[in-house]
């Protein structure tokens, strides 16, 4: 966090001095007035300079985006990050060459990066934000695969009369399964286990 303490004949001058030192603008900072100063007699005798403390506000979206770029670079992947915010949900879309390295087997690498990005984002955010990372439209393709898997395993549960346990999944993927089967009256779904091994069970009614 960058901050400076600056002085000036007036509060305005002190703020201008601080902004110049920080090379930033007023809207990107928080300003605390330590001393409003005193002009004194004839502007000289008994005068006291104004003192302010100016702190640069950290943009949580910029920090999260920078984190993604830095981690990707360490993995040998150069990415561009598009940020889309809708209320308390932030969607980061990654593009670049060798992007498959960031997705990993069944999206495991992407899921891990998404989890870490959410930690970074909420470290700097005033309100709790949820994060979705996507690359090469992976999430859409994964959702379609999950829906097909859900329907196939629901049929298996009905046919065998036995519970069918799926592999551990993150909460938003479990939600896709639950939603896909919510209207199937022959089965019920519930989550079992503890994170990160929490998984869905499809049980015949």
Mean pLDDT of 191-205: 90
Does the pLDDT of residue 8 top 90, yes or no? no
Topology of domain 3-56 in CATH is Defensin A-like (3.30.30)
Q: How confident is the model at residue 41 (pLDDT cuts 50, 70, 90)?
A: low
Q: For position 65, what pLDDT does the model report?
A: 94
How confident is the model over 46-60, as a mean pLDDT? Answer: 84
| pLDDT tens profile 79-131 | 999 999 999 999 999 998 888 899 988 888 999 999 999 999 998 888 899 99
- The proportion of the chain whose per-residue pLDDT surpasses 90, expressed as a percent, equals 52
Region(s) of the chain under CATH 3.30.30: 3-56
* pLDDT above 60 for 153: yes
pLDDT at 57: 82
DSSP string, the chain: --EEEEEESSHHHHHHHHHHHHT--GGGEEEEEEE--B--BTTTBT-B-EEEEEEEPP-HHHHHHHHHHHHHHHTT---EEEEEEETTEEEEEEE-TTTHHHH-GGGHHHHHHHHHHHHHHHHH-SS--EEEEEETTHHHHHHHHHHHHHHHHHHHHHHH-S-EEPPP--HHHHHHHHHHHTT-TTEEEEEES-TTS-EEEEEE-
- The class (CATH top level) of 60-136 is alpha beta
Q: 140-204, superfamily in CATH?
A: R3H-like domain (3.30.1370.50)
pLDDT at 43: 56
Question: What pLDDT score was predicted for residue 1?
Answer: 62
CATH 3.30.300.20 domain locations along the chain? 60-136
Indicate whether 20 pLDDT > 80. Answer: yes
The pTM score is: 0.68
Q: Give span(s): CATH 3.30.1370.50, the chain.
A: 140-204
């Amino acid at each position: 966090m960058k901050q400076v303490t600056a002085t000036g004949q007036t509060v305005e001058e002190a703020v201008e001095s601080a902004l110049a030192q920080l090379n930033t603008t007023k809207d990107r900072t928080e300003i605390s007035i330590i001393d409003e100063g005193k002009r004194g007699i004839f502007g000289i005798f008994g005068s006291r300079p104004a003192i302010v403390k100016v702190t640069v506000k950290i943009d949580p979206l910029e920090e999260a985006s920078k984190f993604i770029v830095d981690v990707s670079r360490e993995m040998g992947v150069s990415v561009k990050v598009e940020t889309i915010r809708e209320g308390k949900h932030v969607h980061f879309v990654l593009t670049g060459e060798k992007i498959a390295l960031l997705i990993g087997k069944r999206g495991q690498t992407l899921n891990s990066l998404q989890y870490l990005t959410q930690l970074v984002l909420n470290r700097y955010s005033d309100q709790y934000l949820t994060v979705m990372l996507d690359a090469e439209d992976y999430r859409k393709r994964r959702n379609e695969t999950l829906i097909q898997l859900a329907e196939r395993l629901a049929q298996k549960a009905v046919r065998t009369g036995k519970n069918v346990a799926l592999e551990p999944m993150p909460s938003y993927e479990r939600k896709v399964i639950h939603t896909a089967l919510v209207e199937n009256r022959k089965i019920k779904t519930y989550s079992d286990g503890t994170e990160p091994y929490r998984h869905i069970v499809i049980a015949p009614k």
